[in-house]
Amino acid sequence: MALQVKRKFFFHLLGAGIVAGWLVMMTLLILRVQVPGRPAAAWSQETTGSAGIDAAGREWKEIFLKDKKVGYAVSLIKPVDGGYFIQEEIFLRLNLMGLGSSLYTVTQCKTDRSFLLENFIFSVSSGIVQFRLSGKREGNSLIIESGSGKEKRTQTVSLQKVPVIGATVSHLFKARKLTVGETFSFPIFDPSTMSQRDMAVRVLDKEPLRINRLTYDAFRLETEVFGRILTVWVDEDGSVLKEEGFMGLTTIKSSAARAPENLDEKGTADLYEITAVSPDRALPDPKRLSGLKIEISGLENGALEKSVLSGGRQEYRDGRLSVRKEKLPSAAGYSVPYKDEDGRMKEFLQPEWNIESDEKEIRNKAFEIVGEKKDAVTAAKLLTEWVYRHLEKRPVLSLPSALETLRTRMGDCNEHATLLTAFLRAVGIPARLSIGLAYSRERFFYHAWTEAYVGEWVSMDATLNQMPADPAHIKLIEGNLEKQVEIAGIVGQLRMKILDFQYE
C-alpha cells in the first residue's frame, strides 16, 4: 500500500511537453524543420510528378525506445475522387513509473493529389481518456471541431499556406523522384498541437541499409527539429524504411505479422526516468527554498525564448539561472473579474481549444468554488486547492483537456495545470501555462504548472498545492501545446550544477 501511495504522488512529474512531443513525433518523428543552406524547393503539384499513387497500399512500422519495442504503426493510403484517403494508426505501450500505459491514436484525412489537406479526423484514446478533433479546409481557413452534439466546439484557424498533415508525410516520397543534394519543403499542420510550421527535408546521400536481414539501396534524408537532427531512410520507391528521432526513438519498416508482436512492456526504459535531469548534488527540502542558483547547459540547443528564461521570478545570464520565490500580494488590487480595458490580458482570459473556460460545466464549478470572494488572490488560492484535492494523481498519456479532466477527476501535471488555468480564466483571472522542470527525489523532472495575474504574475502548482511555487520550479516555456512541444529540443541535453540556495 505504501508503494502505491508513493508511486501515485510522483506520477505528475512528467511535463506536458514530453507527452505532446511524443504524440507529434509519432506522426513521422518530424515536427518543425529549418534546414540551413540553400533555399528549399516549395512543395506543389509539379514537384510530386504526374504519376501519383494509383493503387491502395498499407505499410507497417515497429516503434522502439532505447532499443526496446514499445509499439507499432500502420498507414493506409487509397486513391479517391481526385485525391487520397489516408489513415494512420499508432499503438504505444509505455512504462510510466513501473506501470504499463497504453496509447492509441488514429488520424484519417482526405487530401488532393499533391497531398494538400482537405479534411481530417484525429483521435486519441488512453485508458478512460478519449479525445477527438476534426477539421475541414475552406479556402485559406481550417474549420476545427472538437466534442460532439451539444458540446461541439468550433473554431477557425487561418492558414498561412495550404498544408499537408503529419500522417501524409511518409507517402509524399512515393510521388516524387528523390535526388541526392536537393532540399524541398512544404507547410505542415499538426492537429495534436494545432500548430502550423514549414517543413524542409534535405536528401544527403544514397547508401545500403539493412533491416530484418534484407539490404536496401536507400536515400538518407535529414531534417532539423528544435535544433536536433532527425534522420529518415527511404527506398527507391519512396517507402520509409527507418526513422531515427531523439530520446532514443526509432521506427523501422515491418509487416502485418511482425509489427504487433513482442511489445516489451516491463523491460522498456521508463519515460519519466529517461527524461529526468540529475544535478551534481542533492537539493534538501525544496519546498522551503526562497532562492536557487544553478549553472545549466544545453538550453542553447533549443528554441527557447529569452524573455521566458529571464523574466519575472527568473534571471538567466551566461549559462547561470537564478530563481526566487515570489512574495504573494496580500490583495490583488482588483476585483474579479479583471477589467481588461487596454486588451493586454486578452489572450490570458479567453478560452482555447483545450482550455474550455467558457464551457458551462467549467464556469459553474469555478464560481461554486470561489463563492462570493472577489479578491483575485483569495479566489486563486481556493481554485488551486480544489484542483489539488479533487484530482487523482495518475499518469494520463494523452492531450490535456480542462473539460475532460473535470469529468474524469484524474491526471498528471498536464491536467492539473490545464484545469486550474481554465478555472482562473472562467472567473476572470488572467492565467497562462508554464512548462519546465520541478525537483523531486534528487532530480529535476519535466513538469507543468500555472501562472495567474493577481496584481502581478504569480506561479501556482495545483499538483503540489503551492502558491507561489517553490524556486525548484524552473520555467522554460510559456504557452499551450503549440509552444510546449518546443521543449523536445532540449530533452536529454540539459546538465545542471547547483551553485547556491537559500531558505525562508
Give pLDDT tens digits for 371-415.
999 999 999 999 999 999 999 888 777 778 899 999 999 888 889
Q: Give the mean model confidence (pLDDT) for residues 146-165.
A: 83
Query: Are the C-beta atoms of 196 and 187 separated by less than 8 Å?
Result: yes
With CA atoms as reference, report the closest residue to 76 among 256, 260, 216: 256
Question: Is the Cα dihedral 101, 465, 352, 327 positive or negative?
Answer: negative
Residue 46: Cβ within 10 Å count: 11
Cell of 469: 511555487
pLDDT of residue 264: 66
How far is the C-alpha of 396 from the C-alpha of 12, rounded, in Å? 9
The pLDDT score that the predictor gives to residue 27 is: 42
The more confident residue out of 147 and 290 is 290
Q: Which three cell numbers stand for residue 334?
A: 482588483
Residue 459: what pLDDT? 97
The DSSP 8-state label assigned to residue 59 in this structure reads E
* pLDDT cut 70: percent of the chain above it: 85
* 83 within 8 A of 118, measured Cβ to Cβ: yes
pLDDT given at position 207: 97
Strand 228-235 with 443-453, pairing: unpaired
pLDDT at 3: 37
Instruction: Give backbone dihedrals phi and psi of 58, rounded to 5 degrees, phi first.
Output: -135, 135
Q: State how far the Cα of 400 lies from the Cα of 413, in Å rounded to an integer.
A: 9
Measure CA 360 to chain center: 27
* 291, 283 contact by CB (below 8 A): no
Between the alpha carbon of residue 188 and those of residues 198, 200, 223, the distances in Å are 6, 10, 14
pLDDT of residue 185: 85
Model confidence at 68: pLDDT above 80: yes
Under 8 Å CB-to-CB from 364, ≥6 apart: which residues? none
Question: How much is the pLDDT for 436?
Answer: 92
Average pLDDT, the chain: 84
Per-residue pLDDT tens for 280-322? Answer: 999 999 999 999 999 999 887 667 888 999 999 999 999 999 9
Please give the pLDDT value at position 252: 94
Q: Which residue has the higher pLDDT, 225 or 456?
A: 456
Question: Please, which residues have CB within 8 angstroms of residue 95's CB and are 6 or more apart in sequence?
Answer: 101, 265, 266, 268, 269, 270, 271
Confidence of residue 361 (pLDDT cuts 50, 70, 90): very high
Q: What per-residue confidence (pLDDT) applies to 34?
A: 30
Cα 282 to its chain centre, rounded Å, is 29
What pLDDT does 268 receive? 63
CATH code at 276-503? 3.10.620.30
Alpha helices, DSSP H, located in 175-261: none
Sequence-ordered list of residues with C-beta below 8 angstroms from that of 248, at least 6 positions apart, any chain:
64, 65, 66, 67, 269, 274
pLDDT band at 96, cuts 50/70/90? low
Which tens digits make up the pLDDT trace of 278-291?
A: 999 999 999 999 99
- The stretch 119-146 carries a mean pLDDT of 87
Residue 142 host element (H or E): strand 141-146
Q: Is the pLDDT of residue 239 over 60?
A: yes
Q: pLDDT tens digits, residue range 105-121? A: 899 999 999 899 999 99
DSSP structure class, residue 236: T
pLDDT tens per residue, range 119-128: 999 888 877 6
| Residue with grid cell 509552444, as numbered in its chain | 483
pLDDT digits (tens, 9 = 90+) for 5-53: 333 333 333 443 444 444 444 443 433 233 333 334 444 444 444 457 8
Sign of CA dihedral 10, 474, 463, 303: negative
Cell 538567466 locates to 316
The pLDDT value recorded for residue 138 is: 95
Question: Residue 270 carries which DSSP code?
Answer: P
Question: Across-strand partners of 321?
Answer: 294, 316
